[in-house]
Amino acid sequence: MDFSLTEKQQMLKKITREFAEAYIVPVAKESDEKQELDETVLQKMKEMKYFGACIPEEFGGAGLHDDSIAYCIVVEEIGRADAAWGLSIAVHNSLASYPIYKFGTEEQKQKFLIDLAKGDKVGAFCLTEADAGSDAGGVQLAAEKDGNEYILNGTKIFATNGGIANTLLVIAKTGEKEGRKQLTVFIVDTDTPGYSVGAKENKLGVRGSNTSELVFEDVRIPQENILGGIGDGFKLAMQILGYGRIGIAAQSVGLGQASLEASIKYANERVQFGKPIGRFQAIQWKIADMACAVEAGRYFTYKAAYMYDNQMDYGHVSSMAKLVASEAAMQAAHSAVQIHGGYGLMKAYPVERYFRDAKMGEIYEGTSEIQRMVIANHLLRKGV
């Protein structure tokens, strides 16, 4: 077993960290306050090919499709600088662009993937509805066949990048088969008549990342925009989320790392009772526990990425990575605020934001309860 990063991965980590510290960190606080991603950062991210991180170069991407650990490193470093950017770029890549690369037709790749990979268009993944959250099978947004088109009617909620997206993957109900609801994934261009962005959410954390309601009123989509086949929607959505959770785990690792680093810095600087607080055992134990939790999340994440690249049965490990990394980020952010004392609650220090951001990771792309359910179901069916 080799725990070292390849030369390429090390280089990518260095370049992405330098980029993130130069461009993302300085505006992260403002982005949180304004509840939007910074436009200059967005343009720079395009130039750095982060919008096409896990897409092959032939489609305008950075070519990390066959090195998911490298992709995780990119998301981790972006998430370390700003969890909101980590979320938005992970969703754009793993949940919108990559599924088109993986499951799309050549025509769909030419029509949608290249613009997404170049960052000329932003992608979103639209599964959640008011009555379909953890229970993804509860989707009600309907797609009715009319000649060579499908007419979409319904509302999606909580879509990351929703309000700024140009290309959506929409999971819709396309009827029933043998008494079971049939779901299908549609690629939707947001210029299509009948589509509109509803309310933008005002959130606790990852506030820079756009989260919006999306409304579909008689939106006509050509049948060639179906991803996979009719009725493949549930299976595809689960596969997309399985891969997506690796990216979200990486985002949480970055956020946990940021909390840890801020805490070490503060513990060395803050003097009470005549010495730096880092000399007190109570603070040292917190730092040690944070480091262990974040590192455990990182190794789970890289393991899931490795298993994915090697076509192994990785779904439950991707859930483990998402669960462990997001709970580690929460634990680390909680301790970071405690180590900062009263200052940890103030906007002047980033740990206040990390704390709010970390809570989000335990909810989106499947709550911690759902991850535990996936892991346990796998173990009970297939054993260890």
Ligand X SMILES: Cc1cc2nc3c(=O)[nH]c(=O)nc-3n(C[C@H](O)[C@H](O)[C@H](O)COP(=O)(O)OP(=O)(O)OC[C@H]3O[C@@H](n4cnc5c(N)ncnc54)[C@H](O)[C@@H]3O)c2cc1C
Side-chain-side CA neighbours of 229 within 13 Å: the count stands at 1
> H or E element: which one contains 152?
strand 149-160
97 near ligand X, judged by CB under 6 A:
no
CB of 159 to ligand X, least distance (A): 5
53 near ligand X, judged by CB under 6 A:
no
Would you say 180 and 135 are in contact if contact means Cβ atoms under 8 Å apart? no
Q: Is 165 exposed, middle or buried (0-12, 13-18, 19+ CB in 10 A)?
A: buried
Residue 365 annotated in active site:
yes
Binders in 365-384 for ligand X, by CB under 6 A: 365-367, 369-370, 373
Q: Is 152 exposed, middle or buried (0-12, 13-18, 19+ CB in 10 A)?
A: buried
Q: Which of 182, 261, 363, 378 binds ligand X (CB under 6 A)?
A: 363
Q: Which of 71, 98, 112, 125 binds ligand X (CB under 6 A)?
A: 125
| Annotated active-site residue in 149, 295, 365, 369 | 365
CB of 82 to ligand X, least distance (A): 14
- 155 or 338: whose CB is closer to ligand X? 155
CB of 141 to ligand X, least distance (A): 11
The mark string for 148-167 relative to ligand X (x by CB under 6 A, - otherwise) is: ----------xxx-------
Q: Distance between CA atoms of 142 and 34, rounded to whole angstroms? A: 34
Would you say 97 and 247 are in contact if contact means Cβ atoms under 8 Å apart? no
Binders in 186-245 for ligand X, by CB under 6 A: 203, 206, 211
> What tokens does 217 get?
């009123």
Strand partners, 170: 126, 186
Binding site for ligand X (CB under 6 A): 91, 125-128, 133-134, 158-160, 203, 206, 211, 360, 363-367, 369-370, 373
Residue numbers annotated as active site: 365
